[in-house]
Amino acid sequence: MTRQRILTVAAALFAERGYRATSMQEIADRVGITKAALYYHFAAKEEVLHELTGPVLDELEQALNEAEAAGDAETVRWRAIEAFLDVHLRHRDTLLMLVRDMTLLVQAPVADRFRAAIALANTLVSGPRPGLAQRVRSAQVVAGLADPVVIFRDVPPAKLRRLILDGTRTLLAIDGPAADGPRPSDADAAPEPRTRRAGGRPAALTAADAEKVRRLRKTGRLGVDELAQRYGVSRATIYRVLKTS
């Protein structure tokens, strides 16, 4: 119990003041124990750091390995994206600590594992045989999954998760699982089934339907995939409509 309390307090102090600026005496004072009692549980501050970062790295590596085995490239991509984001959301204080003390990501023993995990995430998001443009875009996506978790650390995790994934879909111009939201109102009832052009190509949206698509997406009620299914068009068509709003 005391050991876990020490870790909780240390994580908060490291996030607040930085790892190097926090002393073992300050940790002991905040926990409400003597410095000798603190050293009974942890022989050095480095041990506290390893104990805090270990679970993050273990979870991240396991989640990415599971995503890699998911099957097709699209499923792998989105499982990797969501896994990377969810681990960071669960360990916000540790992430903030690492960002405040960037030297930890260069000098600490955990640095190699973090770099390897980020490299694997980039590879899974890029997909098979990516070109340079796709690799750059994927690196932007992976960086963009972690940075908002720190910048907007006061935003509730569920809300921030939805917003980050929405931004990821826009950046990649691909769709993933739609965010949860209220069902559309009767005023936005589903249109009549649309006919397809010769060769199975979806019909284009009418001006009226395009306006409905923009309105529904703006309210967050439906994701791009749901809108495409609802109006019988491709996801690319939905993205084009949204970009012209």
pLDDT digits (tens, 9 = 90+) for 84-98: 999 999 988 788 777
**Tokens at 166, concatenated:** 């929405």
Query: pLDDT-derived band of residue 189, with 50, 70 and 90 as boundaries?
Result: very low
List, in sequence order, the alpha helices (H) in 69-206.
73-90, 92-100, 104-107, 111-126, 132-151, 157-172
Q: What is the model's pLDDT at position 179?
A: 41
Question: What pLDDT, on a 0 to 100 scale, did the predictor assign at position 113?
Answer: 83
The amino acid present at 221, given as its one-letter code, is R
At residue 229, the pLDDT reads 73
pLDDT digits (tens, 9 = 90+) for 225-240: 777 777 777 666 777 7
- 167 pLDDT band (50/70/90 cuts)? very high
Beta-bridge partners for 196: 202
Determine the distance from the C-alpha atom of residue 119 to the mean position of all C-alpha atoms in its chain, rounded to a whole number: 15
Distance CA 206, CA 84 (A): 39
Q: Which of 125, 147, 143, 146 is nearest to 134 (CA)?
A: 125
Tokens of 7: 């870790």
For 9-19, what is the mean pLDDT?
85
The model's pLDDT over 30-70, given as tens digits with 9 standing for 90+, comes to: 999 999 999 999 999 989 988 888 888 899 999 999 999 98
**CB proximity list for 93: less than 8 A, separation 6 or greater:** 11, 12, 14, 15
pLDDT band at 99 (very low <50, low <70, confident <90, very high): confident
User: Is the pLDDT higher at 17 or at 59?
Assistant: 59
Contact 242, 213 (CB under 8 A): yes
Judging by beta carbons within 10 Å of its beta carbon (0-12, 13-18, 19+), is residue 73 exposed, middle or buried?
Answer: middle
Interaxial angle between packed helices 73-90 and 157-172, expressed in degrees from 0 to 180 and rounded to the nearest 10? 150
Global pTM exceeds 0.85: no
Give yes or no for residue 212 having a pLDDT over 70.
Answer: yes
